[in-house]
Amino acid sequence: MNKSLADLLRLLELERLEHDLFRGESRDIGSPQVFGGQVLGQALIAASATVDGRQVHSLHAYFLRRGDFKSPIVYEVDRSRDGASFSSRRVVAIQHGQQIFHMAASFQLEEQGPDHQVPMPEVPPPEQLPDMTAEVRKSLDGMPAERRKFWSLERPFEYRSVEPVEAGGPRPGVRHLWFRLIDQCPDDPVVHSGLLAYMSDYHLLETATLPHGLSYRSGEVLLASIDHAMWFHRPVRVDEWLLYALVSPSSSGSRGLAFGRIFDRAGRLVASTAQEGLMRERP
């Protein structure tokens, strides 16, 4: 297995301290604080470890404080309810004695019922698009130090952008990105859900900068996640190509809002996301 992917999978393997208490490692991905997707993925893995025979269908999370990537994070799970069909869990992430994050997640027994979805956008396949990381690295010299470090590190997944990745003038707040892990991973659906939560935090909030012509990579704007929501509609494999269709309907009060829909290659809508975050222009 690819080394960077193996390390990501280890990151999602939490240590069980007590019945409903877990501890996860942290990683420096080149940002000033712990990557929000890491906390989101680990919290979902912790909640899933307290549920039997049911898969996550939704989660709603808030980021309360910046996490320290030099220290582990403790996850405390509250078993709010186990009903006939649904289970509800609340997870609190603690670091240095303070809450940095909390999340509510709901799990459901597999059931059959009416099935419909919106169609997948018509976009070029990933094989016809350049690797996004390779394209961005052509401009490393012009980036501030923190963004240069972020884009220089090797990652266990790849993105391919339908729209041009270079900074430009204001344009509609719409993006389409193909993404996948760079190697196969275990078949466990819990692992794939955790990985999807991890990866969903990339590029989502950046969509809100597009109507303003602001470049996050160039340091023109400060972005920080405030909340994150996900709905898991259908089974998914994150080691196969997925299309992330993003749109930002609004920004105001130094906050940006973005929604995402995730489709597989067959056109099935497998998940939806929503995120609001801090968005401040830098002088």
Task: Give the model's pLDDT for residue 136.
Answer: 80
Structure-token pair, residue 166: 């270079």
Active site residue 201: yes
User: DSSP states of 100-150 as a string?
Assistant: EEEEEEEEE---------PPPP----GGGS--HHHHHGGGGGGS-HHHHHH
Of the candidates 65, 64, 27, 59, the one whose C-alpha atom is nearest the C-alpha of residue 43 is 59
User: Cβ distance 38 to 27 under 8 Å?
Assistant: yes
pTM of the full structure? 0.93
Active site residue 55: no
Name the active-site residue from 48, 87, 248, 275: 275
Give 194's DSSP letter.
H
Cα 196-257-208 angle, rounded to 5 deg: 90
Task: Give the lowest-confidence range in 168-177, 226-235, 250-259.
Answer: 168-177
d(CA 210, CA 128): 24
Q: In this structure, what are the phi and psi dihedrals at residue 188, rounded to the nearest 5 degrees?
A: -55, 120
Q: In this structure, what are the phi and psi dihedrals at residue 191, rounded to the nearest 5 degrees?
A: -65, -45
Active site residue 275: yes
CA end-to-end span of the chain? 44
> Which amino acid belongs to residue 112?
Q
d(CA 91, CA 46): 8
Structure-token pair, residue 252: 């105001």
- Statement: residue 177 has pLDDT above 70: yes
> Taken in order 141, 146, 150, 152, is the CA torsion positive or negative?
positive
Cite the beta strand spans of the chain per DSSP E. Answer: 15-18, 21-24, 55-63, 73-82, 86-95, 98-108, 157-161, 174-181, 221-232, 242-252, 255-264, 269-281
Binned at pLDDT 50, 70 and 90, residue 225 comes out as very high
d(CA 184, CA 88): 30
Name the active-site residue from 225, 248, 251, 272: 225
- Summarised one tens digit per residue, pLDDT across range 179-204 is 999 999 999 999 999 999 999 999 99
Task: Give the model's pLDDT for residue 167.
Answer: 61
- Give the pLDDT mean for 72-100: 97
Q: How far is CA 238 from CA 64, 123, 188, 255, in A?
A: 28, 19, 11, 29
Structure-token pair, residue 243: 């299309």
**Mean of all residue pLDDT scores within the chain:** 93
- Statement: residue 39 has pLDDT above 90: yes
- Summarised one tens digit per residue, pLDDT across range 122-131 is 999 999 999 8
- Give the pLDDT mean for 250-267: 97
Domain ranges of the chain: 3-110+127-281
Task: Give the model's pLDDT for residue 138.
Answer: 77
Structure-token pair, residue 203: 């590029």
Name the active-site residue from 42, 201, 264, 272: 201
Instruction: Please give the residue that has the higher pLDDT: either 221 or 113.
Output: 113
Number of residues that make up the chain: 283
- Statement: residue 139 has pLDDT above 80: no
User: Cβ distance 42 to 100 under 8 Å?
Assistant: no
User: Cβ distance 143 to 219 under 8 Å?
Assistant: yes
Instruction: Tell me yes or no: is domain 3-110+127-281 CATH 2.40.160.210.
Output: yes
Q: How far is CA 120 from CA 210, 245, 265, in A?
A: 22, 9, 9
